[in-house]
Amino acid sequence: MFDFDMLGLAPALNDALKRTGFTQPTPIQNQAIPLAMEGHDILGLAQTGTGKTLAFGLPLIDYLLANPGKPDPKTAKALILAPTRELVNQIAESLRTLTNGTRVHVVAVVGGQSINRQITQLSRGTDILVATPGRLMDLMDRRAVDLGSVRHLVLDEADQMLDLGFIHALRKIAPRLGTPRQTMLFSATMPNQMEELSRAYLNDPRRVQVSPPGKPVDKITQSVHFLDKGAKPGKLREILSRDPEALTLVFGRTKHGAEKLMKGLVADGFNAASIHGNKSQGQRDRAIKAFRAGEIKVLVATDVAARGIDIPGVAYVINYDLPEVPDNYVHRIGRTARAGREGEAIAFCSPDEADLLRQIQKLMKIEVPVASGSSPLNDGAEGGGRRSGAPRGRGRGQGKPANSQKPAAAKRRRPRRRRAA
């Protein structure tokens, strides 16, 4: 593998990388950085946690160092869009670490923070603007930012932008950007809409793919517990008690559910906090900071955090509730095994979540090994036959409880159809 200093980056960047402990590029960085430095548009596909931020950040900073000049008031030279506040802040923090001591200036703007303060920051202009689409639109409406000088556009976690409906904002933002420009689009998954997005905004892009889309990091050990919904709290406390000093990220499906779960853990003596959409940005930032520092051992979150937590020390990710969007499972468990480390992802699956697990396994093209309980997935399900760890000889019989409901439902429907006729 190459060292960073073999990629032709500016000496100041190589020095910053050495100070922060980066010596060798990851596969996505090794492939994307030279192409980006040549000016190509990039379509980058890589597993979560493999270093996509540096894959676009390093060539961007390198270009700005080679082409100095103070930005005009209210302008930016480069724009990075990301779907969540946490991810925007994480990207900005990473870039500032690399630009420390240089004249390259980074500004981050997200919702939930003072827009007047952000207007003041932008009044002086910036080299790199990192933003959520919604807050950027607010600033554009107030004429606080002029994007006509932007010659570099990065769309990070573009698939989630599509999921959250930011495509409409992107259609309004893109025409305001300068031309010609370099565009880089990065994602861990590749839904059909992504192809349309790449055709609309990328010009003859170079596709960089270091793993199949939807595939989690290889160093993540996965398992699933099949259990009734009411047994989830006890199983969670059992798992947390095994390694109480480990940093553990627990994902719930709803804001109310995540908050209730966190309060229950605190009441039982666990050092826990929560982040979700009902928390202010300040509360979310403080919780993540304390989690990163190890002051909080358990962080309960909704999917608002799935793409914004880059904390190498996360040892466990527990899917207390399975996500309704299969891609989100990949992003959730990608919060562990960061930067080449190993990690463990544990899922809870109640009977009503069996189809969600089936969809997740179909996306990843693997079977999640069974840690406990009997799998309700039968041999004919997508993704394979008997689940790893399931008792032999059960096979299709494990699916009988769910399937036995179908004939009864059909009998109820047929009389109604005859009456309607």
Q: Give the pLDDT confidence of 4-22 residue by residue, as tens digits.
A: 888 899 999 999 999 988 8
Report phi then psi at 128, rounded to 5: -125, 125
Residue 151 Cα distances to 11, 116, 201, 350, 396, angstroms: 23, 26, 13, 49, 57
pLDDT at 313 over 70: yes
Q: Class for domain 220-391, per CATH?
A: alpha beta
- The answer to whether 107 and 130 have CB atoms below 8 angstroms apart is yes
pLDDT of residue 306: 60
Confidence band for 236, pLDDT divided at 50, 70 and 90 = very high
The average pLDDT across 226-235 equals: 96
Looking at domain 4-209, its CATH class is alpha beta
What residue ranges in 302-401 does DSSP mark as E strands? 314-319, 343-349, 370-372
**Among the ranges given (11-20, 109-118, 216-225, 294-303), the one the predictor scored with the smallest mean pLDDT:** 216-225
**DSSP calls for 73-96:** TTBEEEEEE-SSHHHHHHHHHHHH
Q: Residue 78 — pLDDT band, cuts 50, 70, 90?
A: very high
State residue 20's pLDDT score: 87
Per-residue pLDDT band at 2 (split at 50, 70, 90): low
Nearest of 37, 45, 36, 41 to residue 183 by alpha carbon: 41
User: Do residues 110 and 82 touch, judged by C-beta distance below 8 A?
Assistant: no
CA distance 91 to 309: 10
44-48, 59-63, 318-322: segment of lowest average pLDDT:
44-48
Q: Is 132 exposed, middle or buried, given 0-12, 13-18 or 19+ CB atoms closer than 10 A?
A: buried
Tokens representing 146?
């002029």
Residue 368 DSSP code: P
Residue 107 pLDDT class (50, 70, 90 cuts): very high
pLDDT > 80? residue 193: no
**pLDDT tens-place string over residues 347-391:** 999 999 999 999 999 988 899 999 999 988 754 433 333 333 333
User: Which tokens sit at 196?
Assistant: 């349309």
Q: What percent of the chain has pLDDT over 90?
A: 60
Instruction: For residue 344, list its beta bridge partners.
Output: 221, 316
* Strand order across the beta sheet in which 220-226 lies: 272-275, 298-301, 247-251, 314-319, 343-349, 220-226, 370-372
* Cβ–Cβ under 8 Å, residues 389 and 222: no
Instruction: Assess whether pLDDT exceeds 50 at residue 395.
Output: no
The answer to whether 90 touches 309, Cβ cutoff 8 Å, is: yes
Tell me the β-bridge partners of 220. 343
Examine the pLDDT at 182 and tell me if it is beyond 60.
yes
Question: Which residues, at least 6 apart from 355, have a Cβ–Cβ distance to it below 8 Å?
Answer: none
Evaluate whether 64 touches 104 at the Cβ level (below 8 Å): yes
Residue 260 predicted with pLDDT over 70: yes
Domain residue limits, the chain: 4-209, 220-391
**CA-CA distance, 168 to 143, in Å (whole number)?**
19
Residues 245-273: what's their mean pLDDT?
Answer: 95
The Cα–Cα gap between 362 and 6 comes to: 39
The predicted structure's pLDDT at residue 181: 96
The token pair that represents 217 in the structure block: 């990091």
Residue 153 or 26, more confident: 153
CA distance 411 to 188: 44
Average pLDDT estimate for 145-158: 95
Of 157, 155, 161, 133, nearest to 145 (Cα)? 133
Hey, what amino acid is at 347? A
Task: Check residue 112 and give its pLDDT.
Answer: 86
| DSSP letter, residue 369 | P
pLDDT > 70: what percent of the chain? 84
Answer whether 4-209 and 220-391 agree in fold: yes
Q: What is the mean pLDDT of the chain?
A: 85
